[in-house]
């Protein structure tokens, strides 16, 4: 009736509890014939480890470290809050957070080198793309510490996984929306980026232009306006552009600086108002959706990103199997009417 236990496995395999335990936990000193007997009993009974009991017994503590960019980036601060909020939902897991200056690869590499191998089992970091970070990451992994990248990936490094959205897909989705919003309205489309030096932004732009070119070839995309994720700069430059280019019917803002976008379009008369798609659902972008300044927001679920990162690190530390589906972070679309 109830789930089989190691006792049942031992009985069926005709061995002692100790032997089952040795097999189960990969300890040495068991003949392969016996191992097979045990494995067969497990298969036959459909035995599954009771993870709760196992953790209870070994009193395992996963000690994880999150390394996030500091500064006023509201997305990162949101992530931090999310970690704090989930902190005590994780049994057997202690999470600490370190801040490093944003876009500073040397500081990040330094932080990685400083990680205490005795007191840390796994690290999640928001990567800055650079050779010294790759080197520091390799060093970290050499000490036997698990590592995943979060939000921003670092390909061809020693990081074991990446947790975050597919930014090309995000850009494609924005194009898919904006293309449809503006399909029957002649005009051009403006792109507001933070900086093309940031990997995420470059990928989003790529995806956006892919789809717009192939599916909405009648729509012209203006060259991207760099706003360095600063609302002042975004506001000023976009205001400039809009006054010089009266036929803008759509705006895609693929970085931060949502306030700047809102400020630039506010003075426009209703009939000239372009359709606007931005990134990240926050208190501000939410308001802007509700009052009609923005049409859609592309979002990534921070809570889920943290959850997945923690679960992934736990699995990597244990060497237990990983479900590739469960790791996916979806590109979410919010309009005024399906806000959570």
165 contact partners, CB below 8 Å, separation of at least 6: 300, 329, 330, 331
Q: Tokens 């003949």 — which residue?
A: 31
Q: Which is nearer to DNA, 38 or 168 (CB)?
A: 38
Stretch that binds its own copies, among 18-26, 70-78, 149-157, 176-184 (CB under 8 A): 176-184
Tokens representing 182? 């503006």
The one among 167, 275, 293, 314 contacting its own copies by CB under 8 A: 275
Could you tell me which stretch among 43-51, 190-198, 256-264, 305-313 binds its own copies (CB under 8 A)? Answer: 43-51
In whole angstroms, how close is the CB of 90 to DNA at the nearest point?
Answer: 15
- Residue 340, interface with its own copies (CB under 8 A)? yes
Which option in DNA, its own copies, none does residue 17 bind, with CB closer than 5 to 8 A by kind? DNA
Contact status: 337 vs DNA (CB under 7 A)? no
Q: Tell me how far apart the alpha carbons of residues 75 and 271 are, in angstroms, rounded to a whole number.
A: 32
Among 109, 177, 190, 221, binds its own copies (CB under 8 A): 177
Would you give the binding string for its own copies spanning residues 218-257, x where CB under 8 A is met?
Answer: ----------------------------------------
56 lines the binding site for its own copies (CB under 8 A): yes
The CA distance from 53 to 286, in Å, is 43
58 binds, among DNA, its own copies, none (CB under 5 to 8 A by kind): DNA
Should residue 211 be labelled a site residue for its own copies when binding is judged by CB under 8 A?
A: yes
Subset of residues 151 to 170 that bind its own copies, contact rule: CB under 8 A = 169-170
Angstrom distances, CA of residue 325 to CA of 151, 176, 189, 299, 322: 17, 24, 35, 19, 9
Confirm or reject binding of residue 319 to DNA (CB under 7 A): no
Q: How far is the CB of 186 from its own copies (least distance, A)?
A: 9
Q: Which two tokens stand for residue 161?
A: 């996984």
Choose one: 4-12, 208-216, 235-243, 280-288; the region binding DNA (CB under 7 A): 4-12
Site string for DNA, 20-59 (x = CB under 7 A): -xx-xx--xxxx-xx------------x-xx--xx-xxxx
Residue 35 or 158: the one with the smaller Cβ distance to DNA is 35
Of residues 37 and 161, the one with the C-beta less far from DNA: 37
**Binding site partner of 173, from DNA, its own copies, none, Cβ cut-off 5-8 A by kind:** its own copies
3-state secondary structure the chain: CCCCCHHHHHHHHCCCHHHHHHHHCCCCCCCHHHHHHHHHHHHHHCCCCCHHHHHHHHCCCEEEEEEEECCCCHHHHHHHHHHHHHHHHCCCEEEEEEEECCCCHHHHHHHHHHCCCCCCCEEEECCCCCHHHHHHHHHHHHCCCEEEEECCCCCCCCCCEEECCCHHHHHHHHHHHHHHHCCCCCCEEEEEECCCCCHHHHHHHHHHHHHHHHHCCCCEECCCEECCCCHHHHHHHHHHHHHHCCCEEEEEECCCCHHHHHHHHCCCCHHHCCEEEEECCCHHHHHHHHCCCCCEEEECCHHHHHHHHHHHHHHHHHCCCCCCHHHCCCCEEECCCCCC
Residue 290 sits in the site that holds its own copies (CB under 8 A): no
List residues binding DNA (CB under 7 A): 2-3, 5-7, 14-19, 21-22, 24-25, 28-31, 33-34, 47, 49-50, 53-54, 56-59
List residues binding its own copies (CB under 8 A): 2, 48, 50-53, 55-56, 59, 61, 88, 91, 169-170, 172-173, 175-177, 180-185, 207, 211, 275, 295, 328, 330-338, 340
């Amino acid at each position: 009736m109830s789930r089989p236990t190691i006792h049942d496995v031992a009985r069926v395999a005709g061995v002692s509890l100790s032997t089952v335990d040795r097999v189960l936990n990969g300890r040495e000193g068991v003949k392969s014939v016996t191992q097979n007997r045990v494995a067969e009993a497990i298969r036959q009974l459909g035995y599954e480890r009771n993870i709760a009991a196992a953790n209870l017994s070994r009193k395992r503590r996963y000690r994880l470290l999150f390394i996030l960019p500091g500064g006023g980036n509201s997305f990162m601060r949101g992530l931090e809050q999310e970690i704090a909020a989930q902190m005590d939902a994780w049994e057997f897991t202690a999470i600490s957070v370190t801040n490093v200056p944003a876009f500073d690869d040397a500081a990040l590499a330094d932080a990685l080198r400083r990680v205490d191998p005795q007191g840390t089992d796994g690290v999640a970091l928001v990567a800055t793309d650079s050779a010294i970070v790759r080197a520091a990451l390799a060093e970290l992994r050499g000490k036997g510490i698990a590592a995943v990248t979060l939000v921003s990936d670092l390909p061809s490094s020693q990081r074991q996984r990446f947790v975050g959205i597919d930014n090309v897909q995000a850009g494609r989705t924005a194009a898919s929306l904006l293309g449809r919003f503006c399909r029957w309205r002649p005009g051009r489309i403006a792109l507001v980026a933070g900086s093309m030096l940031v990997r995420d932004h470059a990928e989003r732009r790529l995806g956006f232009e892919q789809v717009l070119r192939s599916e909405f070839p009648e729509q012209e995309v203006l060259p991207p306006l760099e706003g360095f994720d600063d609302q002042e700069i975004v506001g000023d430059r976009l205001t400039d552009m809009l006054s010089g280019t009266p036929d803008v019917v759509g705006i895609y803002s693929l970085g931060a600086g949502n306030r700047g976008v809102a400020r630039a379009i506010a003075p426009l008369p209703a009939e000239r108002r372009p359709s606007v798609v931005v990134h990240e659902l926050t208190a501000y972008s939410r308001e802007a959706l509700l009052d009609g300044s923005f049409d859609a927001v592309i979002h990534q679920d921070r809570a889920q990103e943290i959850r997945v990162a923690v679960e992934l690190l736990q699995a990597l530390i244990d060497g237990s199997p990983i479900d590739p589906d469960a790791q996916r972070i979806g590109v979410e679309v919010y309009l005024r009417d399906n806000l959570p």
